[in-house]
Amino acid sequence: MAISATVVGALLGLGTQMYSNALRKLPYMRHPWEHVLGMGLGAVFANQMVKWDAKAQEDLDKLLIKAKQANESRYFGNPNSPHVRRGCCGRGGPGPVVLQPVWIRTLPCTPNL
């Protein structure tokens, strides 16, 4: 991957310099050292973009794992969560653990008959 990024960056730098010379109606290879400099800068730029993309993907994966763990602990792992109700109206009576949104918990409770 690094070789292809380097080649693409070098071609990008070379193409940019040649296009610049063409726009100004100068010979394409007027100052060859400018082309070498453009190729070097293009290669560095392309390699940094590859590194940045890999780091961004790694950071995104970490954030997604954190968010998944937070959601699981919020809704499934923490019995003291405000989204978990035990029994009727959260008074601790018999009954399964029920996941409910907050607005449902504020409705008046009718006891199980």
Q: What is the pLDDT of residues 36-82, one digit of tens each?
A: 999 999 999 999 999 999 999 999 999 999 888 887 777 665 555 55
Question: In this structure, what token pair is assigned to residue 25?
Answer: 């109606």
Spatial distance between the Cα atoms of 10 and 4, rounded to a whole number of angstroms: 10
Spatial distance between the Cα atoms of 7 and 28, rounded to a whole number of angstroms: 20
Q: Which helix (H) or strand (E) holds 110?
A: none
Question: Among all chains, which residue has been given the structure tokens 């400018």?
Answer: 34
How would residue 111 be classed by pLDDT, with cut points 50, 70 and 90?
low
Q: What's residue 102's pLDDT? A: 55
Q: What is the pLDDT of residues 81-94, one digit of tens each?
A: 555 544 455 454 54
Q: What is the pLDDT of residues 15-43, one digit of tens each?
A: 999 999 999 999 988 888 899 999 999 99
Please tell me the pTM assigned to this model: 0.57
